[in-house]
Amino acid sequence: MALSTTLGYPRIGRDRELKKATEAYWAGRVGVDELQQRAADLRAQVWRRQQEAGLDLIASNDFSFYDQTLDTTALVGAVPAIYGWNGGQVDLDTYFAMGRGSVKKDLPAMEMTKWFNSNYHYIVPEFRPGMDFSLASDKPFSEFAEAKRLGIITKPVLLGPVTFLLLGKSREDKFNRLDLLDTLLPVYQQVLQRFQELGAEWVQLDEPAFVADRTDEDREALRHAYEVLSQSRGSVNLAVQTYFDRAGDSYETLASLPVQGLGLDFVHGRQGNLRSVSGEGFPEDKTLIAGVVDGRNIWINDLDASLRLIEDLPVSTDRLMISPSSSLMFVPIDVGMETGLDPSLASWLSFADQKLDEVRTITTAVNEGRDAVSEPIEDRARAVQARAVAQSIHREAVKERVAALTADDDRRSVEFPERQRRQRERLGLPLLPSTTVGSYPQTSEVRKARRAAEKGEISSEEYDRFLEEQVRHVISFQEEIGLDVLVHGEFERSDMVEYFGERMEGFAFTRHGWVQSYGSRYVRPPVIFGDVSRPQPMTVRWFKYAQSLTERPVKGMLTGPVTILNWSFVRDDQPRPETCTQIALALRDEVIDLEAAGAKVIQIDEPALREGLPLRREDWAHYLDWAVRCFRIAASGVAPETQIHTHMCYSDFNSIIDSIQAMDADVMSIENSRSDLELLDVFRRVRYRNEIGPGVYDIHSPRVPSADEMAANLEAASGVLSVDQLWVNPDCGLKTRRWEEVEPSLRHMIDAAQRVRERARVAV
């Protein structure tokens, strides 16, 4: 008999209870005991919901106060020395200091980057030669025991040891992190022994690194790790879980591991994993955990198609588990909460709770035959067909415009050196010009006014007057501290993608569709359900108002087409490049309108361009070709004198630097401070010719860095790139910070810029 299981469930709560609890703890409004109690209540709700859905194996340890990779860092005692941990259990304040820094102790946060090709961020583990590991957290065991007291024997989920090491970093040149594997494995052995004592039947070890390109050394490390762990498992069944793509050339190694279960993604790695399982066979001593329900997107499952796929698998039902393709933490919790959605659209959507039902229905059909669940299968078939022919999705004028694009539509009219000369003449900026990335603090007052406007408690005119006051304040502040290129602050925007989607055709929006981005930062991705167009200007009104308040240039601020695509739930009934091109054309119209309204500088942010890169290198060229072209389509309709900026953050640029250069943005700002200036090395090696603003301080931490610290970062950058290429800016937008942090930080930044500017003049 096939079993049903989950790989993880959203931990944020139906009403974002986790966000509210953690932020209350950080603010000192609740103590650690109350925070832990609220977390326990959330976990109990999650387990009961999965139990009610009829799932056979329910995950535990998928909960986290901040990030599951940081949880693993705490579990194995891999705490960097700077945080002052002296052994024993890693306490919550040390844990949060690693994740978000500490104002009290003036400690920076650890580096943060994207979790594979998702919009979730993880805290990057730090490794050094000869480091020791020890079991330093009871979290996985206490949560298993909590569920057991509720009568639920869960399947604990852990980040696998090899992926943990591969996802980390070291400050030591030429140090191989895998050299630490034999030191790390005894801690994992202790973990498995504890779970056996507690009565666990299955333990899931996530090794998603093996759906990306891996070396023979990596695969040998994986083989060695599970040979060691299999000797300590006792009666516990081990499941090695992959997701997000195909196993490819690692399949043979994965299939040969001495474990009892192997999880494969048959949604995002469908064809490759089918070829592996059908061609190379699936071992008879293992259970196949078949991920057939999409854990990363929100469209309903075609139950008939999933059942046909399962029928093609060369595995008997008694060696089969049905599961989502990944943890469900990447999707919202319940479509049923979305009472404001068009009923037709809602019938096409499946969030976490609905995906549980899909897993259960498929499992029942496998075990008892389709007749046992004929009604939901037939209902789903009707919904799939209705979506395919819905008139609300298809707009011929949009498709025709995409088809009419020419090669010249993604090229600026002159090359960068000439554009740079004209832009410098027009703007008259100093050496090391300063700016900010875009947004300013979304204070409680701003959020309160937005809610009041949404509820009709204040008129649109009153809301506009409120926003105008916010813009006046931020323009005045920027002038007063001496910034060179200003922004209007984006107070009218709840989210950098949502704002634009609300003003385009083809998008829909949820009220409760929150997913976690990092820590307590949650987003509500728009739903792209149809062909995209822009009915009217989206940002011109606020740009014109801001520019009317100052003689200094104000940037027009847009989110780029690739980021809008990658940070949305994207329709799956047409190729992603087609949808992205539609968005690019809509933004091109906006860029042209901003220029006509007087914008001399326009920023088109693409923080998610690297994030969308496929996990297999052989798939990169196709993605980068269309992604870069979409950015250029959006940016290339303006005159050479108009300066185009872009912003990219938390990405490894080394492997895609040629594509970044091909974007041909006049100025690019990047995250840099949190990665200790490592990102700049690649720009030196390739002789990057355009201008660049390496972030001089980390905005994701509440600490206020000193002017000396920022000047040192800027000096280091000037040692890598020519000083006349450099801009001075934070590493990201300031939306999530408080004014008490922003004001002194930016004053220090301007002070640092002036110091380095003077030194550069003296040197000349």
Element holding 724 (H helix, E strand): none
Element holding 101 (H helix, E strand): none
Average pLDDT over residues 425-452: 95
Q: Is residue 727 part of a domain?
A: yes
* Sign of the Cα pseudo-torsion (214, 215, 217, 219, in order): positive
* 239-267 per-position pLDDT tens digit: 999 999 999 999 999 999 999 999 999 99
**Residue 763 clears pLDDT 60, i.e. is over it:** no
* 639-662 per-position pLDDT tens digit: 999 999 999 875 567 788 889 999
Q: What is the pLDDT of residue 583?
A: 98
Length of the chain: 764
Please give, one letter per residue, the 3-state secondary structure of 436-485: CCCECCCCHHHHHHHHHHHCCCCCHHHHHHHHHHHHHHHHHHHHHHCCCE
Q: How confident is the model at residue 219 (pLDDT cuts 50, 70, 90)?
A: very high
**Residue 675 clears pLDDT 60, i.e. is over it:** no
Q: What is the pLDDT of residue 651?
A: 57
**Residue 433 clears pLDDT 90, i.e. is over it:** yes
Q: What is the pLDDT of residue 698?
A: 84
Place of tokens 């991705």: 525
Say whether 147 sits in a helix, a strand or coil: helix
Q: What gap in Å lies between CA 383 and CA 387, rounded to an integer?
A: 6
* 602-613 per-position pLDDT tens digit: 999 998 898 899
Q: What gap in Å lies between CA 560 and CA 117, rounded to an integer?
A: 17
Element holding 156 (H helix, E strand): strand 155-159
Q: Is residue 413 part of a domain?
A: no
Name the DSSP letter for residue 111.
P
Beta bridge partners of 159: 206
What would the two tokens of residue 545 be?
């108002």
Q: What gap in Å lies between CA 123 and CA 116, rounded to an integer?
A: 12
Q: Which amino acid is at 629?
A: R
Q: How confident is the model at residue 104 (pLDDT cuts 50, 70, 90)?
A: confident
Q: Is residue 365 part of a domain?
A: no
Q: What gap in Å lies between CA 543 and CA 647, rounded to an integer?
A: 18
**Residue 13 clears pLDDT 80, i.e. is over it:** yes
What would the two tokens of residue 498 be?
């949502």
Q: What is the pLDDT of residue 676?
A: 53
Angle, to 10 degrees, between the axis of helix 739-763 and the axis of helix 460-481?
Answer: 40
Which residues, 6+ apart, have CB-to-CB distance to 487 below 8 Å?
435, 436, 437, 438, 439, 440, 474, 478, 546, 554, 555, 557
Which residues, 6+ apart, have CB-to-CB distance to 530 below 8 Å?
392, 393, 394, 395, 505, 506, 571
Please give, one letter per residue, the 3-state secondary structure of 325-338: CCCHHHCCCCHHHC
Decide if 57 contacts 1 (C-beta within 8 A). no
Q: Is residue 721 part of a domain?
A: yes
Decide if 536 contacts 529 (C-beta within 8 A). no
Average pLDDT over residues 389-403: 94
Q: Is residue 325 part of a domain?
A: no
Decide if 621 contacts 550 (C-beta within 8 A). no
Q: What gap in Å lies between CA 43 and CA 137, rounded to an integer?
A: 18
Q: How confident is the model at residue 679 (pLDDT cuts 50, 70, 90)?
A: low
Q: Which amino acid is at 36?
A: Q
Q: What gap in Å lies between CA 228 and CA 243, rounded to an integer?
A: 23
Q: What is the pLDDT of residue 720?
A: 82
Q: How confident is the model at residue 681 (pLDDT cuts 50, 70, 90)?
A: confident
* 496-529 per-position pLDDT tens digit: 899 999 999 999 999 999 999 999 999 999 999 9
Mean pLDDT of the chain: 94
* 696-737 per-position pLDDT tens digit: 888 878 889 999 999 998 998 888 888 999 999 998 899 989
Show the CA angle centred on residue 299, arms to residues 66 and 371, nearest 5°.
Answer: 115
* Sign of the Cα pseudo-torsion (569, 573, 578, 583, in order): negative
Q: What is the pLDDT of residue 762?
A: 63
* Sign of the Cα pseudo-torsion (110, 685, 706, 481, in order): negative
Cα radius of gyration rounded to whole Å, the chain: 26
Angle, to 10 degrees, between the axis of helix 303-312 and the axis of helix 270-279?
Answer: 30
CATH number for the domain harbouring residue 571: 3.20.20.210
Q: What is the pLDDT of residue 25?
A: 97
Average pLDDT over residues 349-367: 98
DSSP sequence for 491-506: TT-SSTTHHHHTTSEE
Q: What gap in Å lies between CA 660 and CA 648, rounded to an integer?
A: 10
Name the DSSP letter for residue 115.
S
Among residues 280, 282, 302, the alpha carbon closest in space to that of 290 is found at: 282
Beta bridge partners of 239: 204, 261
Q: How confident is the model at residue 764 (pLDDT cuts 50, 70, 90)?
A: very low
Q: Which amino acid is at 528?
A: I
Decide if 644 contacts 600 (C-beta within 8 A). no
Angle, to 10 degrees, between the axis of helix 374-389 and the axis of helix 352-368?
Answer: 130
Q: What is the pLDDT of residue 677?
A: 56
* 168-208 per-position pLDDT tens digit: 999 888 899 999 999 999 999 999 999 999 999 999 999 99
Angle, to 10 degrees, between the axis of helix 374-389 and the axis of helix 303-312?
Answer: 110
Decide if 576 contacts 608 (C-beta within 8 A). no
Strands 320-324 and 202-206: unpaired
Q: Is 700 a catalytic residue?
A: yes
What would the two tokens of residue 66 be?
């901040």
| Biggest alpha carbon–alpha carbon distance for the chain | 83
Average pLDDT over residues 54-75: 98
- Residue 351 backbone phi and psi in degrees, to 5: -100, -170
Q: Is residue 286 part of a domain?
A: no
DSSP sequence for 391-402: TTT--HHHHHHH
Q: What is the pLDDT of residue 610?
A: 87
What would the two tokens of residue 204 be?
């899931």
**Residue 474 clears pLDDT 70, i.e. is over it:** yes
Which residues, 6+ apart, have CB-to-CB distance to 215 below 8 Å?
none
Decide if 255 contacts 280 (C-beta within 8 A). yes
- Report CA-CA distances (Å) from 667 to 416, 468, 475: 10, 28, 22
Element holding 687 (H helix, E strand): none
* Sign of the Cα pseudo-torsion (55, 60, 63, 69, in order): negative
Q: What gap in Å lies between CA 723 and CA 715, rounded to an integer?
A: 9
b/e map 597-631, b = 16+ CB within 10 Å: eebbbbbbbbbbbbbbbbbbeeebeebbebbbbbb
Q: What gap in Å lies between CA 169 and CA 220, rounded to an integer?
A: 20
Q: What gap in Å lies between CA 43 and CA 64, rounded to an integer?
A: 10
Q: Is residue 282 part of a domain?
A: no
Average pLDDT over residues 366-389: 94
What would the two tokens of residue 184 be?
């790390």
Q: Is residue 250 part of a domain?
A: no
Name the DSSP letter for residue 234.
T
Q: Which of 121, 512, 647, 700 is catalytic?
A: 700
Decide if 12 contacts 332 (C-beta within 8 A). no
Q: What gap in Å lies between CA 676 and CA 253, rounded to an integer?
A: 36
Q: What is the pLDDT of residue 484?
A: 98
Q: What pTM does this model have?
A: 0.91
**Residue 761 clears pLDDT 60, i.e. is over it:** yes
Domain of 491 in residue numbering reads as 396-405+418-648+658-763
- Residue 219 backbone phi and psi in degrees, to 5: -70, -35
Show the CA angle centred on residue 566, arms to residues 564 and 567, nearest 5°.
Answer: 65
Domain tally, the chain: 1
Q: Which amino acid is at 111?
A: E
